[in-house]
Amino acid sequence: MSDDLDLSGLRRSYEKDSLDESMSAASPLEQFKEWLSDALEKGVCEANAMTLATADEQGRPSSRPVLIKGFDEDGIVWFTNYQSRKGQNLDVNPYASVQFFWPELERVIRIEGRVEKLAASLSDEYYASRPLTHRIGAWASPQSQVIKSRKVIVEDAAKYALKFGLTPPRPESWGGYRLMPQYWEFLQGRSSRLHDRITYNLKTDGQWIKQRLAP
């Protein structure tokens, strides 16, 4: 335990809202859309940021923040470098979980499921919509690899900007993923740590079973 930082007394009481079975939507996607819309409307900082957790072939986990770029009945979409650590993890273990944490609303959303790569045409479409500097950055950064200094990627960005001009193509090593949910959990903070937790589990017949968990 650290002698310099006493964390044992840091806590807060959650009092802002509640969530019960009758209040929650019939489908998890509807509930997600409702909560995400609420977070965006209320100005939650980086409401579209989620923590993505993956694991390698030995089950060793790693996590990092990514930005959700779309969602529908098929799943949750984000984009990244396929050769990054998360991409390598998903190559050997195509299951992941994501978590949204919005402390301003005292809410957490967890989603678990299988992950697949998006069709190249969808990755091309999104890549073309990105700012030019971001498209160049996808070429310049060998994500998750060791580099000698920041100078390496700055110089590579300049090199690719000169090479491609205003129309850089999408690198084959960069594109989208879709997490296809099998489990959703919505947590609303409550007083005395007696939080509300509503889950949705996907059954083999395609129906969602809604349940309450103890906090």
Residues 6+ apart with CB under 8 A from 176: 69, 77, 78, 79, 117, 118, 122, 123, 126
Phi-psi region of 75 (alpha: psi -120 to 50; beta: other; left: phi over 0): left
Q: Is 193 a catalytic residue?
A: yes
Alpha-carbon span 173 to 143, nearest angstrom? 10
Selecting among 60, 64, 193, 212, the annotated active-site residue is 193
Alpha-carbon span 88 to 109, nearest angstrom? 25
The residues that are catalytic are: 193
